[in-house]
Structure 1
Amino acid sequence: MPPTGEPQRGQLEVGHGAPTGNPETGSRALDSSGGRGAVAGVPTRAWVAWAAGALTYVVAIFHRGSLGVAGTMAVDRLGIDATLLSLFSAVPLGVFAATQIPVGLLVDRYGPRKLLTLSLMVMAGGQAMVAGGTSFAAVLAGRALLGCGDAMVMLSVLRLIAAWFPAARAPVLAQVTVVVGTAGGLAAAPPLSAALRAFGWEPVFFSVALATSCLMVAVWLGVRDAPPDALRSGRSGSPGETLRTALAEAWRQPATRVGLWLMFTVHFPVQVFVLLWGFPFLTQAQGLSATTASYVTAVPLVVTMALGPVFGVISGRRPHWRIPLVLVIVGATSVMWGLVLLWPGAHTPLPVLFLLAIVLGLGNPAAVFGLDIARSGSPMHRVGAATGIANIGGYTAALLAMMLIGVTLDRAHATSADPGVADFRLALATQFLLQALGVVLLLRLLRRRRAGSAGSGPSPVCVSDT
C-alpha cells in the first residue's frame, strides 16, 4: 500500500504523456513504467546512479566554497581589495541563476549522465583557471565556469531521482542530496584550508582540478539516465521539438509556475543572510565579534542538514501541506526580521539573533518543495526544464534582494562614515517588499487555478492528495 499522499494505481489514468493532478500540491498521476510507480524495491543500479549524482553535488558544493577558505591568500596573490574579492562569490551565483533554464532544457534533451559528466569537465577547467590565474580577470573567469558547472548538477540529480525512484521517495532523496552536499562541503573546508597553508595555491587547486576530472570516469560508468524499460517505452518529447518549444510547454504547466513563485518567496532570505549581508549586519550593526557572527551565520546550514529529510517526508506523504507550511515559514521569517529590526536600543540580544538564524534556515528545505511541485507536476521529458524554471525563482529573488539592500545602504548613510544600525535596519527592511510580492503572486496563481478547476467541472483523472 503506498504511503499517504501517493495515488493508488487504480485511481489513475495517464494519457499522451501529459501531467495530471493538482498543481498546488504537485501531486500527479503516475504509472509503473520506468520505475515511477510504487514498487516493492529499488534496483541497485538506481542507488548507484543516485550516489554518483550525489557525489557530484558534494564536489559542486566544495568548488562553490573553495575560495572562501582562501580569501586572504587571494587578496595577497591578486592584489585586490574586499570589494573585488566579494565578486568571486557573486559572479558564480549570477551565472548559476542565469543558466538554470538552459541547463534544464539540456538535461531533458541529452540526459543527466552527459550533463553530470560535462559539469565535472567544466568545474575541473574552471578550477584549473583559478589555480593558474595570476590576474583578477583570469580567476574571475574560472569562478564563472565553476558556477556554470555547478548549475548542471542538482537539476541532473533531480532528473535521475524522477526516473529511477517511486514518486513517494523522490522528495526525501532530493532533501538528502542537499544534506549530503552541504555536509560534504562543510567537511571539506578544514582540510582544504590546511592544505593551502602547507602546499600553497597552485599545487592545491591544480590537484583539486585533477581529482574532479578523474571523477568524470566514475560518473560516466555509474549513471544511467533511466531504467531500460523506461527508455524502450519512448516517453519523450516530440522528435522535432525545439528548445524554445520545450521551454514554452514547460512554462505552461501550472506546477512549474507554482514552484517558481514558491521558491521566489521562501528561499531568498536565507541566501541573503548566509551569502552576503548577514555577516556585515551582525558585526557592524549588532557589534558581534567575527567568530560569534560566523557561528550565527552557520546556523541555517545546520538547520538545513537536520530538518531536510523531515521536510522530504512531509513533501512525499503530505503534499497538501507544502503550500501552507511555506506560508507559515514566510510569515515567521517576516515576524523575526520585524522583531530584530524594531528591537529597542542599538543591539538585539544574541538569543534573538540565533532564533532569527534558525527560522531563516527553514527556508532552505522549504524551497525544495518548489522543485518537488515542478517535478511531480511534469511529464518525464519536461522535468529538467520545469525544475530549472522553478529553481531560478529563488536565485533571482536573492540577487534582487542583495542589490536592493546594497543600494539602500549606500543611499542611507553618509559617504564619509560607515553604515550604522539605523542604516542597516532600513536596508534590510526592503526584503519585506520582495516577500510581499512573492506571496501575492503565489496566492494569485493558486486562486486562478482553483477558479479554473471549478469552472471546468470534474476532472477525468482522479488524484488523491490524502
Structure 2
Amino acid sequence: MPTAWRVFLIFFLAYFLSYFFRSANAVLAPDLSRDLALSPAQLGLMTSLFYLSFALVQIPLGPLLDRYGPKSVTPGLMLLGCAGSLIFSSAQSFTALALGRVLLGIGFAGVLMGAMKAFSLWFPDKRYATTSSLLVALGSTGALVAATPLAVLKEAVGWRGVFGWGSLAIAAVACAVFFFTRNTPPGVPWPKGKSGAGFAQVWRNPQLLRIAFLGFSITGGLLAFQTLWGGAFLYAQGMEALEVGNLLFLFSLFASTGFLVMGVLADRLGIARVTAVASLVFATGLLTLALFEAVLPNSAFYLIYPLLGFCGGANILTLAHARLIFPPELTARATTTVNLFGIGGTFLLQWWMGLLVGAWGYSAALGFVGLLLLVALWSYRPLLGASQHTFNSKA
C-alpha cells in the first residue's frame, strides 16, 4: 500500500515536469525560431498556448477530479502531454509546434490540482498548506533545470531530442501515478457529491470569488512579471544580459523559497493572514518600481527582486484557502476555479502589461498590477477573521 509520502513524491515528479516543459521555450527560442523560421509574434503565440489550454482545462477538471479522483484523471491527461511532446519534437511547421504546445498544456493541467485533491485526503488539514507549498517549492525547481542544464542538454541531443526523450519521461511518471498511488488512504471512502449542484455551489460562494480575485491578481502578477516583464524592465534600465539573468535567478530562487516558507507560516499563523500580508508587500514592491523607476540605483533591484519573488510565493495559499472552505467532495472544483483565475490572470495580465508598456511605459504597467492587487486585497479583507480549518458554504 502506498504511503502518504510516496503519493507526495510521485506527484512531485509530475509537477517538476510541468514546470520544466512550461519553461523550456525560454532557452530553446533561438533554435525554434531559426529551424522553423518563426517570427517573434509566432514564437510568442505558440509559447502562450500552453497557458491558454492549461486554463481552459480547469473548467471540466474540477468535476472530473471530484468524481473519479487524481489516480486516473491526472495520468490520463499526462498521456495527452506525452503525445504533445512527441508532436513538438517532430514538428516541421508553426501549426505542428502550436498543436504540441496545446497538448502539453492540457497534459499538465491536472497535475497540481490532482495533487491537491489527493493531499486533501492523505494529509491532515493542519498540514495541508505546508504540504501543498512544499510540492510547489520543490516542483518549481523544474524551471531552474530548464535554464542552464537544459542549454547543456540541448547541445548534446538537440531541441528535438529534448522533447523526444521528454515524452518518455512524461509517460513514465503518468504510469507511476496510475500504478503506485491511490485516491484515498486504505479504509477511507471516496467522498462523492452531486456534480452539477456542487459546481454551481462553488461558483455562487462569495468567499470563493474573493479568493479567486486575489488569485487572479497575485498569481497573474507574479508569473507575468517572472516570465517576461521583470526581465524586459531590467533591460529598459540599461542592464546587460548577465546582470538581468542574475536578478531573474534570484527572483526565481526566492520564489521557490517563498512557496515553502509561506505554507509553514500559514499553518501556524493562518492562511488568510499570511496571504494578505505577503500580497501587500508584493503590491508595495511593484508600486515602488513604478513610482521610483527613474531614480532607483541598480543595487536596489537586488533587494526588491528577491522580495517580490519571496512574497509572490504566497499565491499558492489561495489554492489552499479555497480547499478549506468547502467539504471534501467539492475541493477539486474549488481549487480548479481559483487556478483558472490564476492562470487566466497570467495570460491576461501579461498581455495587458504589454499594451500599457507600449502606450505609457513600464511605470504604468507595474502600477496597474500593483493597484489591482490592492483592490483584490480590499475584497479579500472580510476573510481575515474566518477560521482556516473549517469549511463554510455560505458567505
Work out whether the TM-score is over 0.5: yes
1:271 aligned to 213, 223, 231, which one? 223
Structure 1 residue 440 corresponds to structure 2 residue 378: yes
Number of the residue aligned with 1:247: 199
2:178 aligned to 220, 223, 235, which one? 220
The amino acid across from 2:256 in the alignment is M
Counterparts of 2:306 and 2:178 in 1: how far apart (Å)? 39
The amino acid across from 1:187 in the alignment is V
Counterparts of 1:206 and 1:176 in 2: how far apart (Å)? 29
Structure 1 residue 402 corresponds to structure 2 residue 350: yes
Counterparts of 1:273 and 1:255 in 2: how far apart (Å)? 27
Q: Between the two proteins, what is the percent identity of the paired residues?
A: 26
Number of the residue aligned with 1:125: 83
Cα 1:180/1:428, change in 2 over 3 Å:
same
**Structure whose CA Rg is larger:** 1
Matched ranges for 1:45-444 at <5 A = 45-187=3-145, 189-231=147-189, 235-237=191-193, 241-242=194-195, 244-283=196-235, 285-319=236-270, 322-343=271-292, 345=294, 348-412=296-360, 423-443=361-381
Number of the residue aligned with 1:418: none
Please tell me whether the aligned partners of residues 83 and 103 of structure 2 are also in contact (alpha carbons under 8 angstroms): yes
Counterparts of 1:366 and 1:210 in 2: how far apart (Å)? 33
Counterparts of 1:406 and 1:185 in 2: how far apart (Å)? 23
Counterparts of 1:206 and 1:462 in 2: how far apart (Å)? 44
Q: TM (normalized to structure 1)?
A: 0.77
Number of the residue aligned with 1:34: none
Q: TM (normalized to structure 2)?
A: 0.90
The structure, 1 or 2, with the larger RCO (C-alpha pairs under 8 Å, 6+ apart) is: 1
Instruction: Look up the SS of the partner of 2:125 in the other structure.
Output: coil
Q: Mind listing any 5+ residue stretches in structure 2 that lack a counterpart?
A: none
Cα 1:257/1:106, change in 2 over 3 Å:
same
Cα 1:168/1:132, change in 2 over 3 Å:
same
Cα 1:462/1:249, change in 2 over 3 Å:
closer
Counterparts of 2:297 and 2:212 in 1: how far apart (Å)? 35
Q: Mind listing any 5+ residue stretches in structure 1 that lack a counterpart?
A: 1-42, 413-422, 454-460
Please tell me whether the aligned partners of residues 210 and 379 of structure 2 are also in contact (alpha carbons under 8 angstroms): no
Counterparts of 2:13 and 2:168 in 1: how far apart (Å)? 16
Counterparts of 1:73 and 1:373 in 2: how far apart (Å)? 41
Question: When the two structures are aligned, how many residues end up with a matched partner?
Answer: 390
Deviations 1:98-129 (A, max 9, x none): 22232122111110011221132011111111
Please tell me whether the aligned partners of residues 315 and 372 of structure 1 are also in contact (alpha carbons under 8 angstroms): no
Deviations 1:32-86 (A, max 9, x none): xxxxxxxxxxx85222222111111111111112222211110111101223222
Instruction: Look up the SS of the partner of 2:203 in the other structure.
Output: helix
Instruction: Look up the SS of the partner of 1:218 in the other structure.
Output: helix
CA RMSD of aligned residues (A): 2.5
Cα 1:177/1:431, change in 2 over 3 Å:
same
Please tell me whether the aligned partners of residues 265 and 274 of structure 2 are also in contact (alpha carbons under 8 angstroms): no
Which segment drifts farther, 153-162 or 349-358? 349-358
